[in-house]
Amino acid sequence: MARLADSPRTRFAPAPTGFLHLGHVANAIHVWGMARARDGSVLLRIEDHDRRRSRPGFEAALLADLAWLGFERDDGPVRQSRDDAPYEAALATLRGAGVIYGCDCSRSTFAGWAEGSGRPWSGPGCPGGCRARGAEEVTLRAALGDESESWVDELVGPSTGDVAVAGDPLIRDRDGNWTYGFAVVVDDLRQGIDLVIRGRDLLDATPAQIWLARLLGRERPPSFAHHPLIFRIDGLKLSKADGATAIGQLRADGRSAAQVIGEAAARVGLQRFPRPFRASEVGSLFD
């Protein structure tokens, strides 16, 4: 079906730094479900901006898992590692706006400040005062000020947050990698993404990304939808270290794709009970 002019274009954007798990399935249900319910399209974007941790084997596995689950992309896959030019151009734009500065703070710098202050660093800047003293460009940060952003999240509702909730956002890390928070802003703008669907652990990242997008020329931010997460028994969210929920392991244990999708849907409240659900049916959860 041709995508309607006013229908959304969204993306499923896993990082090939581990195996897909049940939490990724919950995200896929929301991405494909919300897109299909509105005659929208889904781009598959491989977010391999962290070249040290990304592995071809993980990418091959995630493509195989998506095929087994039955989630069919409309476009892609595209990969962040293929072309640095869009990120270099965006960095040049931010330099031109006067917001980029070098920073030599490390994680231990932030941890030491938190230990001495009794709370994590928050607000503009960084613990080392790197912008004021013209620090070496070990990493790059964007000075966004002490502004806030408000938006109406499609799943959370009216939301407001500071653009520098945990300090000025990193643009490039000490290994030379573009950061997640920068790369996705550039990609969503150039790839025409107008609906961003992701977990609520990234809700606080939204204000900075809206602000960065505006600096890069995006007049209207995308719509955002932050869905519930799947948590372990100990209260922590699922991660790629949870081998028991890896899709490949669930498949090896004899679970069907419909059973895995149904369990993920129930774990985030889209079904009352884990009834088997096919990928082609997820749009009905959002009608």
| Separation CA 250–CA 59 (nearest Å) | 18
| Predicted structure pTM score | 0.92
| Separation CA 158–CA 154 (nearest Å) | 9
Mean pLDDT of the chain: 93
- Within 8 A by CB and 6+ apart from 224, the residues are 151, 153, 154, 195, 196, 197, 198, 206
| Separation CA 165–CA 208 (nearest Å) | 8
For residue range 83-121, what is the model confidence (pLDDT) as tens digits? 999 999 999 999 999 999 999 999 999 999 999 999 999
Determine the pLDDT at residue 2: 36
Q: How confident is the model at residue 51 (pLDDT cuts 50, 70, 90)?
A: confident
Residue 162 in this model has a pLDDT that exceeds 90: yes
Over range 126-149, report the average pLDDT: 95
Judge contact between 226 and 203, C-beta under 8 A: yes
For residue range 53-72, what is the model confidence (pLDDT) as tens digits? 999 999 999 999 999 999 99
Judge contact between 59 and 51, C-beta under 8 A: no
| Separation CA 35–CA 43 (nearest Å) | 11
Q: How confident is the model at residue 231 (pLDDT cuts 50, 70, 90)?
A: confident
Provide the β-strand partners of residue 169: none
| Separation CA 222–CA 119 (nearest Å) | 33
Q: How confident is the model at residue 243 (pLDDT cuts 50, 70, 90)?
A: low
> How many CB atoms sit inside 10 A of residue 103's CB?
26
Write down the H helix ranges in the chain.
22-37, 56-69, 85-96, 107-117, 130-133, 180-190, 206-215, 247-252, 257-267
For residue range 11-33, what is the model confidence (pLDDT) as tens digits? 999 999 999 999 999 999 999 99
